[in-house]
Chains A and B, each alone.
Chain A
Amino acid sequence: MSTVLETTTLLAQVGMGRIQGGWEYIWAAYGIAWASLSLYALSLWIRRPIKASRDTKE
């Protein structure tokens, strides 16, 4: 029922010649992009090689 309603709403929007709204999709996309980049940067930081073992006193 909700799918039918969504499709009807979408068709009504397209019928106006231009998709209206849709900011929730935009924010979701930007959020996923920024989160992916941030989390990967964090993973690189966690995995960074530690030079300490080479420099420690024998």
Chain B
Amino acid sequence: MSGLMNAVLQYGSAAAALVVVGLGIRLGRKWAPVDSQMDARPMLVGMSVAALVLLAVGGWLGLVWSPQDREMGDVYRIIYVHVPAMWMAMLTLVLNFACCVSYLLKANWKTDALAEASAEVGLLFGGFGLVLGAIWGRPTWGVYWDWDPRLTAMAIMLVTYTAYMALRRFVEDPDKRAVWSSVVGIISFANLPIVWFSVKWWRSLHQVQSTPKTVDPEMALSLRVNAWAFLILLTLFLLHRYRIALATREAEVALPDALPPDAPASRDGNSTEVA
């Protein structure tokens, strides 16, 4: 593939990513609040169709069009779903960290809702990405699992984000829940740079990061197309999950009004308004 084609793909990918993120931010502001009057259906359907088409094309490119790897033969084709899944997991967990810090600096229920959404979606991508990595490990390493630094760090990170989600479910007070989970989110994030750099710091079983620059140019297109599909899906998942979190929070704020005035459990009036 020519250098020009690679440059077009590189800039095209950056532009496509910016458009998807821009759409996500716009819909998050205008459509996600439950009382929104915005009719986002055409945009959401368009994004869903684009994601499914790209997923199908990416599947064909990865399973059929791409050449075999010199050493791994066909099994390396798992890279086209494993690597984009891990990228999306890291992206959402960076977003979660930003939301946790932001909430502690300035309490805002929208930030807390986005933190919750990003942790859950990050856990999804990280969870199945790790399983895919284990499946890839069996024919290449001979084992599904090894206590390799990258695998161990990733497993620890998933456990900490599972704890984050569990904490959010167990703490009933919304204020305490938001503060405590923000702290846990920040602590959990400390592991993310270790996950990313582990393959450089400790040269062990896991190969170095796979990116369009480190894989063969013949494989870069398949990797990019699958990453585009996953990015659109990630944006859609985040939007819908954020909307659910906002609605849940709104219902919690509305709850004291539904209780009788003499109810002992009625809140003391310090429930924060949904920002």
CB pair A48–B244 under 8 Å, yes or no, is yes
Residue among A18, A21, A25, A41 with max Cβ neighbours from chain B (10 Å): A25
Number of A interface residues in the complex (CB < 8 A): 27
How far does the Cβ of B92 sit from chain A's closest Cβ, in whole Å?
13
Contacts of A34 in B (CB 8 A): 55
Which B residues from 43 to 63 make CB contacts under 8 A with A?
Answer: 55, 59, 63
Instruction: Give B230's nearest chain A residue, CB to CB.
Output: A37
Q: For the complex, what is the distance from the CA of A18 to the CA of B139, rounded to whole Å? A: 11
CB pair B73–A33 under 8 Å, yes or no, is no
Chain A 36-55 near chain B by CB (<8 Å), digits 1 or 0? 11001100100111010010
CB pair B135–A51 under 8 Å, yes or no, is no
CB pair B59–A30 under 8 Å, yes or no, is yes
Contacts of B233 in A (CB 8 A): 37, 41
Is B35 positioned at the interface, with any CB of A under 8 Å from its CB?
A: yes
Q: For the complex, what is the distance from the CA of A19 to the CA of B72, rounded to whole Å? A: 5
Q: For the complex, what is the distance from the CA of A51 to the CA of B127, rounded to whole Å? A: 32
- Chain B positions within 8 Å of A, measured between CB atoms, are 34-35, 55, 59, 63, 68-75, 77-78, 81-82, 85, 124, 127-128, 131-132, 135-136, 138-140, 142, 233, 236-237, 240-241, 243-244, 246-247
Secondary structure call for the B interface: helix
CB pair A17–B139 under 8 Å, yes or no, is no
CB pair A32–B128 under 8 Å, yes or no, is yes
CB pair A51–B81 under 8 Å, yes or no, is no
Is A15 positioned at the interface, with any CB of B under 8 Å from its CB?
A: no
Q: Could you list 26 examples of A-B contacts with CB < 8 Å?
A: A10-B139, A10-B142, A18-B68, A18-B70, A19-B74, A19-B75, A22-B73, A22-B75, A22-B139, A23-B74, A25-B78, A25-B139, A26-B74, A29-B135, A30-B78, A32-B132, A32-B135, A36-B128, A40-B237, A41-B233, A41-B237, A47-B244, A48-B243, A49-B243, A51-B34, A54-B34
Chain A 2-25 near chain B by CB (<8 Å), digits 1 or 0? 000001001000000111111101
Contacts of B72 in A (CB 8 A): 18-19
Other A-B contacts than A18-B73, A19-B75, A26-B74, 8 sampled, CB-CB below 8 A, are A18-B72, A19-B139, A25-B135, A26-B63, A44-B240, A47-B244, A48-B243, A49-B246
Contacts of A30 in B (CB 8 A): 59, 63, 78, 81
Contacts of B85 in A (CB 8 A): 33
How far does the Cβ of A26 sit from chain B's closest Cβ, in whole Å?
5
How far does the Cβ of B252 sit from chain A's closest Cβ, in whole Å?
13
Q: A29-B136, A40-B124 are in contact. Are A19 and B71 (CB under 8 A)?
A: yes
Q: For the complex, what is the distance from the CA of A17 to the CA of B140, rounded to whole Å? A: 12
Contacts of B34 in A (CB 8 A): 49, 51, 54
Contacts of A28 in B (CB 8 A): 135
Instruction: Give A40's nearest chain B residue, CB to CB.
Output: B124
Residue among A33, A37, A40, A51 with max Cβ neighbours from chain B (10 Å): A33
Point out the residue from B131, B138, B247 that lies within 8 Å of A49, measured CB to CB: B247
Contacts of B59 in A (CB 8 A): 30
Q: For the complex, what is the distance from the CA of A57 to the CA of B71, rounded to whole Å? A: 67
